[in-house]
Structure 1
Amino acid sequence: MDRAPKPEAPDAFAAADLRVGRVTEVLPFPQAAKPAWRIRVDFGDLGQRWTSAQVTRYRAEELTGRLVVGAVNLGRKRIAGFTSEFLLLGAVGADKHVRLLRPDDGAEPGDPVA
């Protein structure tokens, strides 16, 4: 099976607006079908946005203040009555746990990811 990227793949990736953000608030989300948090992230000049993420292996205290990476231009999605405004990015290991992407020190909320 050929898994080579399609020619339009670089353009599709460039169309995603990936930004650095800082987690400012983490709330329980008991209405979600799978365990999840409601997470508010500050994206600098882009403002604060909410998302729902199945990253409950992290405690709320671990997430609050942490730098993360989010795709901010994919539209909104309703999840169990909650509006998720961006996609929080992470790597999914063989154990199915999401490990959040984290920029190096010096990155600031709102910085674009290249």
Structure 2
Amino acid sequence: MATERKDIVAFEDTLGRLDIRLGRIVEAVLEPSAPRPAYRLTIDFGKFGRKVSVGRFTQHASDDLVGRQVVGVLNFEPRQIGAVMSEVLILGVQFPGAASGEATVLVPAHEAKIGGKVF
């Protein structure tokens, strides 16, 4: 389904306010308390520490996620998902052919420095 493009916005009012960094998934386990099937991910952001995220990346086997570099927004307010406080939003896109909300992670084309800022 095609959607209309959104209005143009200033960098300083949008992307310039977000702290988007590269991390590496060190653990991915199913989170039984989530309202829909989801993984509880532990992501290493280097000098920014390890953060927990709950995300609907279950079209991937957990073993396929561990070790992957991912892109996350570090400065969104934490969000309660089931019994877990999700501290960071891992960016993704719709998984092909999967139900709405099922995602695949955004990854860099090459290995890069953990904790590196996305720009």
TM-score (norm 2): 0.85
CA distance in 2, matches of 1:93, 1:9: 28
Q: CA RMSD for the aligned pairs? A: 1.9
CA distance in 2, matches of 1:40, 1:10: 30
Q: 1:7 to 1:60 in 2, by over 3 A?
A: closer
Gaps of 5+ in 2: none
CA distance in 2, matches of 1:44, 1:13: 21
Indicate the residue corresponding to 2:106 in structure 1. Answer: 101
Indicate the residue corresponding to 2:115 in structure 1. Answer: 110
Indicate the residue corresponding to 1:58 in structure 2. Answer: 60
The number of residue pairs the alignment matches comes to: 114
1:80 is aligned, of 79, 82, 96, to 82
Q: 1:33 to 1:4 in 2, by over 3 A?
A: closer
Please say if residues 52 and 85 of structure 2, whose CA atoms lie closer than 8 Å, have aligned partners that are also in contact: yes
CA distance in 2, matches of 1:50, 1:92: 21
| Per-residue CA distance 1:10-59 (angstroms, 9 max, x = gap) | 52121111100000011121111110000000001100000000110011
The aligned runs of 1:18-57 (5 Å cut-off) are 18-57=20-59
2:18 is aligned, of 16, 19, 36, to 16
Gaps of 5+ in 1: none
Please say if residues 37 and 56 of structure 2, whose CA atoms lie closer than 8 Å, have aligned partners that are also in contact: yes
Q: 1:10 to 1:31 in 2, by over 3 A?
A: same
